[in-house]
Structure 1
Amino acid sequence: MLTQVSQGYFQPDVGGENIPVAQGELSDLAGDEPLFKALYQWFLDSGGVYKLAFGPKAFIVVSDPVVVRHLLKENAFNYDKGVLAEILEPIMGKGLIPADLETWKPRRRAIVPAFHKAYLDAMVAMFGRCTHETIRSLDALTEGNPQAMTDMEEVFLSLGLDIIGLGVFNYDFKSINKESPVIKAVYGVLKEAEHRSTFYIPYWNIPITRYIVPRQRKFRADLEVINDCLDGLIARAKQTRQADDVEALQARDYSKVTDPSLLRFLVDMRDADLSDKQLRDDLMTMLIAGHETTAAVLTWTLFALMSNPDVEAKMLEEIDSVLGDKTPDLEDLKKLPYVRAALAESLRMYPQPPILIRRSLADDVLPAPLNGDPAGYPIGKGADIFISVWNLHRSPHLWKDPNVFRPERFSEAHSNPGFNGAWAGYRPEAQGSSIYPNEVAADFAFIPFGGGSRKCVGDQFALTEATVAIAMLLRRYTFRFAKGPGDVGMATGATIHTANGLKVKVSRRQTEGAGAANRPALARASA
């Protein structure tokens, strides 16, 4: 009944008559566990491709690398973002995530060149400066207080917001030290996006609700605050525009450029789309998507390290030997293979997001999954598909000891002989020039940033940001659960959140060079 009321129509047959149907109850989704955990149990019972039906609405849940490779790479242009685009369009407009294919193609061509090596070099230095601001706030917290406590999820959210502000549109939120109206508006929009992704009835599509429902009125007000801020930044960038070819923009000396932001690149690019609406949509997409996801990666990495002291000890040994008291640069990050592997392992066990959403634009045949019908599964136009990244990353068919946090796995080749070569397995040497494990090395069993043509363009930005932050913070502080890992809990929206915050006891590390010797480094960074 809820489906009929909310959709207003019966969904046409999506095909897949030979797809196993999960034998679950709607009540399975009504408990405290997030949706992706229920999908995991049905995956174990029903296989890598199964159908989940509630009333007339049916979803196809995919947890198989062969089928994922088909959806994301081999036939990617037959699928758009479906329900996700409908949720995000009021927030991100025609930004990269919700954009239709015709809008997406030219925008991706414009944005991808902006993430070039010189830009990333400049960003790594900026990541260090922002992390030093976090260090200052934690130093103040721990000064004379050996039992200092804080919520590191909130700390990481503030750090992530400051980094995105500077890196994307050269705006300093200073959220580590204060909370401005723009910051409040950003968090308000994030909460509304999460609400829309988890609430069954899309009542916000009814025009009158924007005026009579308090949270919808607040959402519109928050959007107006952010849009006014972004419009001002866009106008300022246009006033100082210096148009040039892409190659010339990439050749700028970014160590001396006062504004190395993505916005500056997009505005200065010759023949660029300079419409305020499109630029604002691009910036809003990167602000929302890039801020919360990296904060979630750092939160769950720290959670895993506090739960696995042996892994933490190995990371500290590597960080101390490579960095000492210096702020890392891009070359230093290449010398931290275990730290990078730990971040990848965090993304494997706690993927951000845990579910990718697609909708078929035309009839298709999904290839035979590893343990499924060898004839494959014909599906119809309009079929809604959930790619369960959580299931894929924790599949016992694809990963040895999938529920164990073990960064070493990313330096070891692994395969499943029972699949007769249909899945290539995990091959460290196949990750190419990337210094982080990726979907190519895992043959689509590991997709923390998606894969194929619509893979996240900010993957290297996010990973280097997380590496700098976790290395610098672990070098200086010891973090321990305030109560215990069971008190943290898990919830989901666009990303995996804690249910109760990551409450920790934080103290300064008592190691040679990690205490007083850090103060000159902080002073240099400030200067």
Structure 2
Amino acid sequence: MTRLAPGPRGLPLLGSGPDLVRDLVGTFTRGWREHGDVVRFRVPGKELFLLVDPEHVKHVLADNQPIYPKDPQSVGKFEEFVGQGLFTSNGEFHFRHRRLAQPAFQGTRIAGFAPDMVAAAEDLVRDWRPLAWKESTVDIVPEMMRLALTIVMRTLFSTDVSAQAGHIAAAVRTCNAYTNLRLQRFVELPRIGPSRRRREFAAARARLDEFVYALVARRRAQGTDSSRDLLSLYLAARDEQSGYRMSDRQLRDEVVTIFLGGYETTALSLVWTFWLLARHPDVERRVRAELEHVLGGHEPTAADLPRLEYLRAVYAEALRLYPPVWTLSRTPLREDVIGGYRVPRGAQVFISPYLVHRHPGHWPDAERFDPDRFLGKRPGGWAYLPFARGPRVCPGSSIAWLEGPLVLATILRSYRLTVPPTHQVRPRSNVFLYPSGGMPMRIEEVEP
């Protein structure tokens, strides 16, 4: 016998809608702590379910994955920005594009990205030197965004956009902010002319389109070399069964999808890691000792990473506590039962890695920052999903596991980052998991 899942009562007519709009992270967290691993939220016209137990997550993302496509209500709001890329598409279209893209994220191709990653981080180290001399305080969120975007463009598209990175990053942030605003509107009202925010979104999307289409056109004119980078691979890729090749519009959608998830998530993972290190100086000292022992005086390389075991554990633990992709949403094509509770067809089902990673039944002392829990272990299992799991696991996760530790090693060799004691950090949802109020940190030079 199925039951109705528990959840907050909310307001008459509006349900939990105002709370979800005001503070999605806090409302989900309170709902879980007060009502358990399956929580039902009422909003106008629909039901939302939050799943936190790893077995329920596996049920949706793997065991019953065919009946749980990406939530069309959420995806539809992303499509206006990213189109039909790997992030938004479903069904055979998605898996056909995934087969074309997957080879770019495997094996020696990924390891070959390491020198460009380290070089971009060294450029940032050089740019920060005047700030370090003055021990200046800067918001590292835009700094990490600029660095991560430069790395994406150098490694995946063989293009250095250092001079344009700020403008491109600003355009992506504008598109993300508008998309996040739409995601928080559980009822879409008819539009009476374009709003200011919509005009800003359209202008930012147009700037991105102009940049990407020009990049595709230049590469087509140069000819394709599938060994060069991801864009070249996409241009040369051909489905063996159907002969299908990507059009310019489809190439655009995949490139913008990488802008959405391929640089912002990595940048935020670095922001949260630096913050955690600043709050735990004993952990930072262990990282520095390991860097000195393994690297000596040379720059980090991909070959060094197996010996930088503690640094990789720190990064894994930061992804546990603050996964940039903090929620995933799916919609069942037919009625289902999860944990004994009825989930109706068409409901929005949310999985929160942020909360799954804090489940006390699967993570002892779950709120504590403890990199030792990953030493000698491979991050895995359904209780750990910073890059999702199942057939739709993020294809770029291997890049993140390479880029994150390399960038951390490069910057930490030169600088210590500290947080002003008066600054309060609270996670907030802006598509991804951002620190509310940014992340101002003081840059201090490390004695050689």
Query: After TM superposition, is the score higher than 0.5?
Result: yes
How far off is 1:133 after superposition?
Answer: 1.1
CA contact (8 A) 1:141 1:148 kept: yes
Matched, 1:398 2:366: no
User: What does the per-residue CA deviation read over 1:489-523, in whole Å, with 9 as the maximum and x for residues that have no partner?
Assistant: 33211111111221111111013xxxxxxxxxxxx
CA contact (8 A) 1:488 1:503 kept: no
- Structure having the higher Rg: 1
How far off is 1:335 after superposition?
Answer: 1.1
Q: Give the 3 Å change call, closer, same or farther, for CA 262–272 of structure 1 in structure 2.
A: farther
Match of 2:105 in 1: 115
Matched, 1:166 2:103: no
Q: Give the 3 Å change call, closer, same or farther, for CA 308–19 of structure 1 in structure 2.
A: farther
SS in 2 for 1:171: coil
Gaps of 5+ in 2: none
Between the aligned partners of 2:9 and 2:368, the Cα distance in structure 1 is 27
Q: Which of residues 271, 274, 277 in structure 2 aligns to 1:299?
A: 271
How far off is 1:354 after superposition?
Answer: 1.5
Q: Which of residues 348, 351, 364 in structure 1 aligns to 2:320?
A: 348
User: What does the per-residue CA deviation read over 1:11-48, in whole Å, with 9 as the maximum and x for residues that have no partner?
Assistant: xxxxx951422135359754997322222222122221
How far off is 1:308 after superposition?
Answer: 0.9
Q: Which of residues 161, 171, 192 in structure 1 aligns to 2:178?
A: 192
SS in 2 for 1:97: coil
How far off is 1:280 after superposition?
Answer: 0.6
Match of 2:335 in 1: 363
Q: Which of residues 438, 443, 446 in structure 1 aligns to 2:384?
A: 446
Gaps of 5+ in 1: 1-15, 244-248, 253-259, 369-375, 413-427, 432-436, 512-527
Q: Give the 3 Å change call, closer, same or farther, for CA 395–172 of structure 1 in structure 2.
A: same
SS in 2 for 1:479: strand
Between the aligned partners of 1:297 and 1:90, the Cα distance in structure 2 is 26
Match of 1:62 in 2: 51
TM-score, normalised with respect to structure 1: 0.78
Aligned length: 439
Match of 2:202 in 1: 220
User: What does the per-residue CA deviation read over 1:293-330, in whole Å, with 9 as the maximum and x for residues that have no partner?
Assistant: 11110111111111111111111111111122322221
| Structure 1 segments of 4+ aligned residues over 6 angstroms from their partners | none
Match of 1:510 in 2: 447
Matched, 1:382 2:336: no
User: What does the per-residue CA deviation read over 1:101-156, in whole Å, with 9 as the maximum and x for residues that have no partner?
Assistant: 1310100111111112222122111101110111111113223x2x3221112211
CA contact (8 A) 1:81 1:98 kept: yes
CA contact (8 A) 1:168 1:287 kept: no
Between the aligned partners of 2:159 and 2:185, the Cα distance in structure 1 is 33
Once the two structures are aligned, what percentage of the paired residues are identical?
Answer: 27
Q: Give the 3 Å change call, closer, same or farther, for CA 99–155 of structure 1 in structure 2.
A: same
Matched, 1:480 2:418: yes
Between the aligned partners of 2:344 and 2:84, the Cα distance in structure 1 is 26
Correspondences of 1:256-275 after superposition (within 5 Å)? 260-270=228-238, 271=243, 273-275=245-247
SS in 2 for 1:80: coil
TM-score, normalised with respect to structure 2: 0.92
How far off is 1:272 after superposition?
Answer: 5.5
How far off is 1:201 after superposition?
Answer: 4.1
User: What does the per-residue CA deviation read over 1:325-381, in whole Å, with 9 as the maximum and x for residues that have no partner?
Assistant: 322221111111111111111111111221111111223333x4xxxxxxx334332
Q: Give the 3 Å change call, closer, same or farther, for CA 362–201 of structure 1 in structure 2.
A: closer
Q: Which of residues 16, 20, 43 in structure 1 aligns to 2:5?
A: 20
SS in 1 for 2:128: helix
Q: Which of residues 462, 465, 469 in structure 1 aligns to 2:400?
A: 462
